Structure 1
Amino acid sequence: MITPKEIKDKTERKYISFLQSLVEQEPFKKLVIRGDKSYTKSSLQEFEKEIQHIVSQSKEKKGFGYTLEFQQVKTKHLGTQDLPTSIYFDTEKDFLKFLGKENEVDSFKLNVEIILREFPELREWIIKNPKKVIGNVNKWQNILQVCQYFKQNPKPNFYIRELPIKVHTKFVERNKSIIRELLDVLISEYVKSEEKEFENRFNLKYAEPQIRFKVLDKKISDRFFSGIDDIAIPVSQFEKLDLPISKVLVVENKTTLYTTLTLPKMNDTIAIFGSGFSVFNLKNVRWFDKLKLLYWGDIDVQGFEILSQFRTYFPQTKSVLMDKQAFDTFFENDNGTPTNISMKLNLTNEEQELYEILKTNNWRLEQEKIPLEYVNKYFDNE
């Protein structure tokens, strides 16, 4: 026989559809809870205990909640007994008081009214997301202020904290998820739908990634940067650089970047800190297309996966110091980080063979463990 807890669980599963019916302005209909259980007890004492338990939580005893309808049924072991054949809620008040949701639904109704008064076009969103209306119960005044601003200024070109909206300076940052969903509906024609980052998606300024690079040719550093050779600038500015260089060396680790100035003199060359998979920040640097590109990463699976990623942007990229000879010479039995990547990588045959060895054995040789003497000799011939 069904228990009061099971009745509660089944009733709670009806709650979302009830909220949706409120938005659609449908009147409350008798809400039936399926019992799904037949009587199996052979002891009259157990039977009476179960019946009393169900009845004790019903509207008959508590003044609200579910109503029970009984019918005389002939049982196998106990003869004819009154068994509950129907469990239902007669009114909205019975349903909500049983769930303890009266105040929550009052707030929901009020917020739905406020939202639709401002933006009737959000009705479908509310129907699909009633729990999000409830989850942001005390925020709607501020959320709607933000939405109203973007509706009137769909291309703000401000940093988030510069937005002239009378909310806390961190409010938008802390509520990006819900605001994003609403703006996707409200200003869809201005949304950069291919962009995942909030600022890019909604035409805001943002703190761009910095590209850090070292100028390995002193003539260039003197001419263009007043002798400064260690530089970091926003990626949009880096994309516009116009330097008389012919070669770019991208290194995976910061430690290796520090040592690049000790390399043999390299005319017309800069070295860039790729910062692992952050090499994607370089994908739109189109002045790279005509340059000689060298990539130097760790000899591990991630190093080759980053090389493959970078090569999808710039097919001419050549790996350096990532060969089996260097690995066999300096490997110190270090473990790597396992990978879940199974797709074919953009590697040469030799690189792919070494990649498979590293992947199978979970091995790693970090690039900074290759002695500088060996590195310098390599670049002397590069």
Structure 2
Amino acid sequence: MRRRWDRGIFLTAHAAGLPFEPLDLPIRGPGPRDIGDRFDDVRAWRAGWTAVPRGVRVVEAPIGGRLIGINRLPSRVAIDGWDELISVLGVRRDVETFDARLACARERAPALAEWMTRFPMRVLAAGDDWDRLVTTVLWIDREARPGSYLREIDVPGVDTKFVETHRGLLADLLEHQLPPERIDAARLRSDFAGRFGFRSKPDYVRVRLPPEHAGPFSEIAVRVDELAHAPVDAGTVIVVENEITYLALPPQPSTAVLLGGGYAARRLTPLAWLADVDLRYWGDIDTHGLAILDRLRAAFPHTRSLLMDRDTLLAHRTQFVREPSPTAERLDRLTPEESELYAALVTDAFGPSVRLEQERVRMSLAERAIHVG
């Protein structure tokens, strides 16, 4: 009975206005042999059932037979009404709280009432934050401008930390409150801001400019959406994942270096002008490094890998570390040599979960590879 309450079954039926279905629950009690062998214990057990909470009806049944006689012992518990049930469970305050919140929602936010009926325990679990959650949902529905930041939500007691803490619950409520055109279903629920029309924190990329670049800066950090409209004047662009490698890579004429930071494919896809340069990618030699290369080629098929080959891997055997969680996803955009290397890594041909991190590769090899082009 308590489990059914905790799952919200009783409160959902109550909120939906369904008639109460009387409960008839069996009692596992002593049998005829117990009466003969442990009569005093059985009598004490029966006496305990005389002190049941108000609203519980104990139904007795005859137990025994020819040898010990017939005795009537509790066999079932019956609860005949809603009021009796909440008294037995001791949840009257919770019921009153939920009823008040549901009545308020039917006035202020009727679109949420159906969800609340289906998930009453989540309403109660929100505690004192519930009213602010509903107010936030209504503010977003009525006041939020497309492309604004979450920081602009203007509800007393609500800040970005509140939104982050309750992101899952707010997403459920917004999906019932907002019209379909206000929800970007292509965005994952984890992308709360993008899914509900808010502007996400912009991606930045660091760029080492070609040495002949005219200007006071050798390096810039710029928003990706702005860099998309301002191509770097370079014939070659090398994308690397490790910051120290990014800084230490020797300058080359007409060559820019971009720091991918582990997210090269996602970050660089908007930079359409990369399709017109000699694009090189240098990442870790492990399953995830080759997966990033594969994803980058989805946007820029002409991308060439740099020092991500079998010879480079085997030349650094003493530098191997273990990849924490290798992937075995299908990669269709690798060259035959890269695919062979990927298969060997997946099958542990070189050892268990082998990884050669970019910063462990000798820099002299990088200089040579860049010169060879």
How far 1:199 moved relative to its partner?
1.2
How far 1:321 moved relative to its partner?
0.7
Matched, 1:42 2:29: no
Mapped to 2, the partners of 1:49 and 1:30 lie a distance apart of 31
Given that residues 295 and 307 in structure 1 are in contact (C-alpha distance below 8 angstroms), is that contact kept between their aligned partners in structure 2?
A: yes
Mapped to 2, the partners of 1:51 and 1:235 lie a distance apart of 80
Q: State which drifts further: 138-147 or 82-91.
A: 82-91
Matched, 1:204 2:195: no
Aligned to 2:18: 26
Mapped to 1, the partners of 2:116 and 2:39 lie a distance apart of 45
1:228-243 to structure 2, matched below 5 A, reads: 228-243=217-232
Mapped to 1, the partners of 2:86 and 2:154 lie a distance apart of 41
Aligned to 2:261: 275
Aligned to 1:213: 207
What do residues 113-145 of structure 1 show as CA deviations (whole Å, max 9, x unaligned)?
A: 112211112222112211111011312221122
Say what the alpha-carbon RMSD is for the aligned residues. 2.5
Given that residues 331 and 364 in structure 1 are in contact (C-alpha distance below 8 angstroms), is that contact kept between their aligned partners in structure 2?
A: no
SS of alignment partner, residue 227 of structure 1:
coil
Gaps of 5+ in 2: none
Given that residues 238 and 282 in structure 2 are in contact (C-alpha distance below 8 angstroms), is that contact kept between their aligned partners in structure 1?
A: yes
Relative to structure 1, the CA distance from residue 338 to residue 348 in structure 2 (aligned partners, 3 Å threshold; closer, same or farther) is farther
Mapped to 2, the partners of 1:54 and 1:202 lie a distance apart of 60
The TM-score normalised by the length of structure 2 is 0.87
Gaps of 5+ in 1: 1-9
How far 1:20 moved relative to its partner?
0.6
Given that residues 240 and 260 in structure 2 are in contact (C-alpha distance below 8 angstroms), is that contact kept between their aligned partners in structure 1?
A: yes
SS of alignment partner, residue 111 of structure 1:
helix
Q: State which drifts further: 42-51 or 176-185.
A: 42-51
Mapped to 2, the partners of 1:347 and 1:77 lie a distance apart of 85
* Counterpart pick for 1:252 among 241, 255, 258: 241
Relative to structure 1, the CA distance from residue 320 to residue 290 in structure 2 (aligned partners, 3 Å threshold; closer, same or farther) is same
Given that residues 335 and 363 in structure 1 are in contact (C-alpha distance below 8 angstroms), is that contact kept between their aligned partners in structure 2?
A: yes
The TM-score normalised by the length of structure 1 is 0.85
Matched, 1:371 2:358: no
What do residues 173-194 of structure 1 show as CA deviations (whole Å, max 9, x unaligned)?
A: 3322211111111113211121
Residue type at the aligned position of 1:108: F
Matched, 1:159 2:146: no
What do residues 235-265 of structure 1 show as CA deviations (whole Å, max 9, x unaligned)?
A: 22222223333322111211211112x24x2
Aligned to 2:334: 347
Mapped to 2, the partners of 1:77 and 1:204 lie a distance apart of 79
1:165-176 to structure 2, matched below 5 A, reads: 165-169=155-159, 170-176=161-167
Percent of pairs with identical residues: 23
Relative to structure 1, the CA distance from residue 108 to residue 328 in structure 2 (aligned partners, 3 Å threshold; closer, same or farther) is same
1:327-346 to structure 2, matched below 5 A, reads: 327-345=313-331, 346=333
SS of alignment partner, residue 43 of structure 1:
helix
Mapped to 1, the partners of 2:302 and 2:65 lie a distance apart of 83
How many residues align? The count is 362
Aligned to 2:344: 357
Aligned to 2:300: 314
Relative to structure 1, the CA distance from residue 323 to residue 11 in structure 2 (aligned partners, 3 Å threshold; closer, same or farther) is closer
How far 1:289 moved relative to its partner?
2.5
Given that residues 287 and 326 in structure 2 are in contact (C-alpha distance below 8 angstroms), is that contact kept between their aligned partners in structure 1?
A: no
Mapped to 1, the partners of 2:148 and 2:366 lie a distance apart of 46
* Counterpart pick for 2:110 among 99, 120, 126: 120
Matched, 1:101 2:94: no
Mapped to 2, the partners of 1:105 and 1:61 lie a distance apart of 25
Mapped to 1, the partners of 2:80 and 2:98 lie a distance apart of 21
How far 1:34 moved relative to its partner?
4.2
